[in-house]
Structure 1
Amino acid sequence: MSVEQPLWHALTAYRVLTLIYALCLFVYSFHDYDRPLGAAAYMAVLTVWTALTFRMVSSAERCTRRFLIGDLAVAITGILLTPLVDTHDRIAEGTPTLPSIWTAGAVLGFAIKGGWRWAAWASTVVCAANIIERGGFAQDTVHMLMLVWVASVAIGYVVEVARASERTLARALRIEAATRERERLARDIHDSVLQVLAMVQRRGAAIGGEAAELGRMAGEQEIALRSLVATGLVTPPRAAADDRHDLDDATPPASPPGPDPAPADALPCVPEDSADPCDLRALIAPHAGSQVTFSEPGAPVILPAAAAGELAAAVGAALDNVRVHAGEGARAWILLEDEPNAVMVTVRDDGPGIPDGRLADAEREGRLGVALSIRGRLRDLGGTAEWISAPGQGTEVELTVPKPALNAKDRT
């Protein structure tokens, strides 16, 4: 049941009860009317209208805008008809109009159907009709009308909040259901497909030859599948139809044992001047491979698209250095961290490390890969790039970008 459905049921009951109340007032004051037959004719029309439209206010689908306008017109007609059938003295004393508090039901229909804006419009029309009926701004009339206006607008606002809450709850339930299904699939895949791929990788490496290339491809598929069931972000590995064709021709392609850098076209195209939101995980995930492990938080790391592209490019440059300088058997690890005030990406390898002063010497010699591809990008983003290395202990690159700097870059 919708969270607003009880409000429609309450409005249905309200219209019936207020009709009974208005009929009781009419019968009690029948002989006081100046033209009682005219008043009786309107009350008959009001009774028939309420009976015929009983189901129209039972749900949002049945309560159309055309019906609401007609319902409000019936109420306004009764208000404006009151001076024609009642005496001037009774009107001056503040006696109720012909529809009395039934009119509020018409306004509440607008509030529940369209929110506080519709309620404000409908209650304003009712207020104007009551002022015309009284012939001026009487104090008691103003108080009553303000009560109707404020109450209808407040109910309309509550309805809008309830609808937003319902949408949020529905979205949360869908996410929970999807998460449970992904966990179930992950368990099934782990117990079947991943085990087979891991076995193929080990057997292929042991046999060698074409089987070694097949094992390498199985290892890449295993890593991609693990990332897919964990985050749903990984892109297809680079082992494509061309590789399979080479295997069929018994001419396995040469592939270096070191970390495989993702090609430029594997990363999504990010315009340099774009400010749209982007999940950084989706840009870094394609770098994962048989010798590159990617660890990321369980929630999206949202950055402006241009900034995310620059940071992902810096990660790619760091992995290129691992492939070129750390040796054929080196492994690399990427760690993405989303801190409250900064985004940090750490690229670590188990290579031979960097001798002291080597980076400064490379920059003086004109080798600007580190200076431009990594430090330059981070500097443009307001961040820093730090190298932690010792001979024989591998190298660790920390890429840090403060979020205030990213926000300022996004605004510009």
Structure 2
Amino acid sequence: MGAGMTDADRDDARTADGAARDDRGAPPDGRRQAMRMSVELPLWRALTGYRILTLVYVLGLFVVAYPHYAHPLGAAAYMGALTAWTAATWRRTTSPERCTRQFLVADLGVAVGGILLTSVIDTQARIMDGAATLPSIWTAGAVLGFAIKGGWRWAAVASTIVAVVNLVERQELARDTVHNVVLVWVASVAIGYVVEVARASERTLARALQIEAATRERERLARDIHDSVLQVLAMVQRRGTAIGGEAAELGRMAGEQEVALRTLVAGGLLPRQRAVPAAAADGDPAARPAVADPPLPAGPCDLMALLAPHVGAGVTLSGPGCPVALPAAAAAELVAAVGAALDNVRVHVGADARAWILVEDEPDAVLVTVRDEGPGIAEGRLAAAEREGRLGVALSIRGRLRELGGGAEWISVPGQGTEVELRVPTGIAPEGGRRGRARA
């Protein structure tokens, strides 16, 4: 019976740990607890119910056959012991932790002892006529315990022992006896195999969720690095080259580190955001103006008020005359994405380029459009920039909105400027609630 799973394997099978997420993307504790629910637990509960119901059935058989036993008092003593054993150990089969190997062996011993005792207590004529053994179908519960606990190998060993003992008690290969023992053997082995497959599936799910958690954390760090460290390195490179001398060497080293860091953070692109200042686009992010994010309130906030600091001589903001309410975290991510789009305008069109921000409060979403008067974006340029490690679009714009359940679309005609449409579904809950459908 040593072919069963280890305790560590069973623990892995009972737990499918969800991805560890921060307060903007994590499922609540209740949902994480639901992930830990194992498919094994219903089987243990069913086994407990089976043992109780079959005990009632066996006692009924005993009452009917009582006058026909050769030693009815002996049968009554065994039934009393079987009842006491089932009552005393019913909690043992409610969970894998309580159902130990020692209990399973003892439980099987009670069943096997009852089968062998039948040949002493019952008459030979009744035995040859196919009368039920003292424990009858209660024996199958002991075998199923082995199946659920240790898989099909344990089930095969336990059911084989029961089959041999039944044949010894009957003293011949009667067709009904063979039929019954084969049925128990096949059923227990099949259930044991299903349990092993379920455990393997749960371990696979747990591993996938752990990988997802690690990937999300890595990508969150990649976003933060792109929005802060890379900007500083690019600025040092640019200023050092302009100053010359020893500063030029420092700038060259900063440039090398920027390239290496871009290559590193380009390894995985799933969004995991925090509210950060407006980030770099797919151009050089160095030494350009950035608008500081205003402090966020605890509850919903007005998107128009958060976008107001971006308005200047070259940027026009238009929108509804009433507040456009969004959860604070979602509004911060949307404002940061708008800031990244405006950074693109400054880098690719020019510091004095004009841009327009249009906010539309639709019934099911908030749509923010950033339009410029630049030369437009060549076809395939965004995908090429992402491959080169310039992640402004991938992380700071599209990644932010995708995490919120929204999306971003670029509409660009060469020579006629570019429009970036940023959509966030309303009613979203960045803390783990409902999300809309992503468009990008």
TM-score by length of 2: 0.52
* Cα distance between partner residues in 1 of 2:256 and 2:80: 80
Code of the residue aligned with 1:33 in structure 2: it is Y
Deviation of 1:19 after TM superposition, in Å, equals 0.7
1:86 Cα deviation after fit: 0.5
Q: How does 1:157-176 map to 2 (within 5 A)?
A: 157-176=193-212
* Per-residue Cα deviation, 1:141-170 (whole angstroms, up to 9, x for no partner): 001110100110010000000000001111
- Counterpart of 1:153 in structure 2 is 189
Give the aligned residue type for 1:145. V
User: AA paired with 2:60?
Assistant: C
Equivalent residues in 2 for 1:2-401 (5 A)? 2-231=38-267
Structure 1: give runs of 5+ residues left out of the alignment: 233-334, 336-412
| Aligned residue identity for 2:216 | R
Aligned residues: 234
Distance 2:47 2:266 in 1: 48
Question: Matches of 2:107 and 2:244 in 1, distance apart?
Answer: 83
Helix, strand or coil for the counterpart of 1:231?
coil
Cα distance in 1 between the residues matched to 2:59 and 2:264? 68
- Determine the C-alpha separation between the residues in 1 that align with 2:181 and 2:252: 78
The Cα of 1:57 is off from its aligned counterpart by: 0.8
* Alignment partners' CA distance in 2, 1:201 and 1:94: 93
Cα shift readout 1:299-330 (whole Å, capped 9, x = no counterpart): xxxxxxxxxxxxxxxxxxxxxxxxxxxxxxxx
CA shift in 2, pair 1:11/1:222, >3 Å: same
Offset of residue 213 of structure 1: 2.1
CA distance in 2, matches of 1:213, 1:28: 100
| Structure in which a larger fraction of residues adopt helix | 1
Deviations 1:206-239 (A, max 9, x none): 222222222222223223322333338xxxxxxx
* Compared CA separation, residues 228 and 3, structure 1 to 2 (3 A): farther
Give 3-state SS (helix, strand or coil) of 2:266's partner.
Answer: helix
> 1:333-359: CA deviations, max 9, x gaps?
xx9xxxxxxxxxxxxxxxxxxxxxxxx
Q: Which runs of 5+ in 2 are unaligned?
A: 1-36, 269-386, 388-440
Shift of 1:180: 2.1
Q: Deviations over 1:341-380 (max 9, x none)?
A: xxxxxxxxxxxxxxxxxxxxxxxxxxxxxxxxxxxxxxxx
Structure with the greater relative contact order (CA < 8 A, sep ≥ 6): 1 or 2? 2
Identify the range of structure 1 (203-212 vs 76-85) with the bigger mean alpha-carbon deviation: 203-212
Q: For 1:226 and 1:107, locate their aligned partners in 2 and report how far apart those are by CA, in whole Å.
A: 59
- When the two chains are superposed, the root-mean-square deviation of aligned CA atoms in Å is 1.6
CA distance in 2, matches of 1:229, 1:88: 80
Q: Structure 2: how far apart are the matches of 1:230 and 1:31?
A: 83
Distance in 2 of aligned mates of 1:128 and 1:99: 15
2-side partners of 1:202 and 1:26: how far apart? 94
In structure 1, distance between residues paired with 2:266 and 2:92: 49
Amino acid at match of 1:9: R
Q: Which amino acid letter does the alignment assign opposite residue 155 of structure 1?
A: I
Counting aligned pairs with the same residue, the percent is 75
Q: Which AA in structure 2 matches 1:81?
A: L
SS in 2 for 1:15: helix
Letter in 1 for 2:251: G
| TM-score, with length taken from structure 1 | 0.55
Shift of 1:174: 1.4
